[in-house]
Chain A
Amino acid sequence: MSKKNMPIEKGHIMMFARAIGDENPIYSDENYASEKTGGIIAPPTFTQSSAQFDPDYFLRPKIGKPWFGSGKNPTGIEKSKNKTESSTSTNILHAEQHFEYHLPLKPGDTLTPQVSEGEKWEKESKRAGLLKFSESITKYYNQDDELVITARSVGVVTEKVVEN
């Protein structure tokens, strides 16, 4: 499937560490990190931000296009009469996420994700109705064609809104 290169940058790593509330200087302090791991490394879930480098990523507003979040109205998109048309579904949830780490991820690396579809399955749930699961596997290769991280994501489409 699609290939969108992800440059690994120090500033992005620092901001990511801030967002997850991680003060470990390994993610921001070059002097500290060079003694510990030979330099700054990325946190374990950092490749999730590869969405930033996907030009078509559907959960990012696009210039000049309607966005489904609120503006003047609670949503910028008219309710589609045909429900199956909905591409901005709010009932897609992240069910599982798995990472395998093969090599450390460092600033200066460029990752090329190779995405493949995995299994699909269905399950009935009292809380959310029919659940449709689908799996996606992303292999992130670096600039030397070495496999750095394998990510497996399971998404679920629920029939009903899920609350605790």
Chain B
Amino acid sequence: MIDVNKIKIGDIFSEEIVNNLTRTQIVQYAGVSGDYNPIHTDEIFATKVAGYPSVFAHGMLTMGMTGKMITNLVGDGNLKNFGVRFTNQVWPGDTLTTKAEVKSIETISDKTQITFEVITENQNNVPVITGSAKASF
């Protein structure tokens, strides 16, 4: 977790959020979230019917894994806002890294609010998620 007193604008933090994403993890996410769209878990459907090269991860799995990096950074229960755009698909075998850059630090009635720009990239440095997060301390 970050030290709120030492943090400054422009600081960048990063964490690998998944290494070699497995189809099984996508199945785990389908099961727990209730989104059983076969496009995420059914290779035959995804390739033969939907026309994709393989199954691909739920956007919300990538957001969930990105959120893990954010809560590791800002601590538990401090997150106030978290929003993303899904810019590219995430495929089995992908390795993803999330980077968070401090964009603003404000003090509002004895609370420090820190806003981060958030980007999750795959192993080819292609952004799969771009967004922002705000935490209050």
Contacts and interface: CB of A to CB of B under 8 A. Distances in A.
- A and B assemble together: yes
Interface string A7-25: 0000010011011111010
Given A21-B65, A51-B35, A101 B60 contact: no
Contacts of A44: 64, 67, 70-71, 79, 82
Given A19-B64, A74-B49, A98-B83, A69 B33 contact: no
Interface stretch (A55-63, A108-116, A117-125, A135-143): A55-63
Contacts of A18: 28, 32
A35 B47 CA distance: 48
Contacts of A94: 58-60, 86
B126 interface: yes
Interface string A88-106: 0010011111111100100
**Which bucket holds chain A's interface residue count?**
35 or more
Given A43-B64, A60-B36, A98 B82 contact: yes
Given A70-B44, A74-B48, A100-B81, A164 B89 contact: yes
Contact of A19 (B17, B32, B77): B32
Given A90-B50, A161-B50, 7 more contacts: A19-B28, A20-B68, A90-B51, A97-B59, A97-B60, A97-B86, A163-B52
Interface of B: 17-18, 25, 28-29, 31-39, 41-42, 44-45, 48-53, 58-61, 63-65, 67-68, 70-72, 76-77, 79-86, 88-89, 91, 126
Interface of A: 12, 15-16, 18-22, 24, 26, 36-37, 41, 43-45, 48-52, 54, 57, 59-61, 67-70, 74-75, 90, 93-101, 104, 152, 161-164
